[in-house]
Amino acid sequence: MSAPHIPVLLDEVVAALAPASGLAPGSLIVDATFGAGGYTRRLLASGATVRAFDRDPDAIAAGQDWPEASENPPRLVLHPRRFSEIVAALTAAGIAAVQGVVFDIGVSSMQLDQAARGFAFSTDGPLDMRMSQEGESAADFLNEASEEAIADVLYRYGEERQSRRIARAVVAARPLTTTGQFAHVVRKALGYRPGAPRDPATRSFQAVRIHINGELDELTAGLAAAERMLAPGGRLAVVSFHSLEDRIVKQFLRESAGAMPAGSRHLPSPDPVGKPVFEKPSAAIRPGPEEEARNPRSRSATLRWAVRTAAPAREGHSFGGLAA
49-53, 203-207, 263-267, 288-292: which range is least confident on average? Answer: 263-267
Domains by residue range for the chain, with CATH: 10-109+215-323 (3.40.50.150), 116-213 (1.10.150.170)
What backbone torsions phi and psi does residue 220 show, to the nearest 5 degrees? Answer: -60, -45
Residue 8's pLDDT band (boundaries 50, 70, 90)?
A: very high
Q: What is the pLDDT of residue 110?
A: 53
Q: What is the pLDDT of residue 269?
A: 54
* pLDDT (mean) for 127-153: 94
Q: What is the pLDDT of residue 107?
A: 64
Neighbouring residues of 150: CB distance < 8 A, sequence distance ≥ 6: 141, 142, 163, 166, 167, 170, 171
DSSP letter string, 27-73: -EEEES--TT-HHHHHHHHTT-EEEEE-S-HHHHHHHTTSGGGSSSS
What residues pair up with 77 in beta bridges, in sequence order? 51
In angstroms, the Cα distances linking 79 to 68, 85, 246 are 14, 10, 25
Residue 240's pLDDT band (boundaries 50, 70, 90)?
A: very high
Q: What is the pLDDT of residue 2?
A: 40
Residue 324's pLDDT band (boundaries 50, 70, 90)?
A: very low
Q: What is the pLDDT of residues 159-178, one digit of tens each?
A: 999 999 999 999 999 999 99
Q: What is the pLDDT of residues 14-66, one digit of tens each?
A: 999 998 778 888 899 999 999 889 999 999 999 999 999 999 888 899 899 99
Q: What is the pTM of this model?
A: 0.88
**Interatomic CA distance for residues 245 and 254, integer angstroms:** 14
Q: What is the pLDDT of residues 86-133, one digit of tens each?
A: 999 999 999 999 999 999 997 655 555 555 565 676 778 999 989 888
**Interatomic CA distance for residues 15 and 303, integer angstroms:** 11
Q: What is the pLDDT of residue 103?
A: 97
Longest dimension (CA), the chain: 61
